[in-house]
Amino acid sequence: MLTSEGRVIMISGANRGIGRAIAETLFEAGYSISLGARDLKSLSSVVDGWAADRVATARYDAEDMETHQQWVGATVEKFGRIDGLVNNAGIFESVTVEDGDDTVLDRMWAVNVKAPLSMTRLALPHLRHSGNGRVVNVASLAGKVVFDSGIGYSMTKFAAVALSHATRHAGWKDGVRCTALCPGYVATDLTSGVESITQDRMIPAGDLAQVVLTVLSLSNSASIAELVINCRDDPTA
């Protein structure tokens, strides 16, 4: 198992929900963390009271590639290294086989696929230098199971899983490992309107954060390529 001491992890979409839970869990475990989100003010509330020498925040807009470069640069400037990247930021909007706005679909591709690819490309040289670099892509069960009501979203999450496998292959010889997390419904503000299952039966965001902590801690010889996490017996129901 790898220790957290001295290791630096970048987390996108860290101002709420899953990303915030991951940030809190990793910081408590001893990692130094660099958090990215569009709303810097909300990030400030997340890290309030945390040790300043182990935390960095930056504006990250998935649709603005310049902010990707600036965030990676600021992280390296402060910590001198990057050991892990958690591509968590994502969006969902309904696009079906028969209905849907192409502009909406393009935005989901930009945020859910192109942005994680951009961040991975920028971080990869530093992850290779680490020798134990880790990438965690927060995909979705929708990247394994297809529903017509969310086909646009599923398409992007299938692509995120593909990106994860490609990243693992690209960095393998240099100790880079990548995991695609594919959870079902997670109890956050984004799922508050779901009618098919109540939030008390969904995956707690803190539990998913513990999974990320475990994945980051595994040795190079114990790589998990995909991890499907269910909150009900029949996720297709």
185 annotated active-site: no
DSSP 29: T
Residues present in the chain in total:
237
Instruction: Look at phi and psi of residue 85 and say left if phi exceeds 0, alpha if psi is from -120 to 50, else beta.
Output: beta
Three-state DSSP class for 23? helix
Residue 48 exposure: Cα atoms within 13 Å on the Cβ side: 8
Q: 120: Cβ–Cβ under 8 A, 6 or more apart, which residues?
A: 85, 87, 135, 163, 167
Active-site positions read: 153
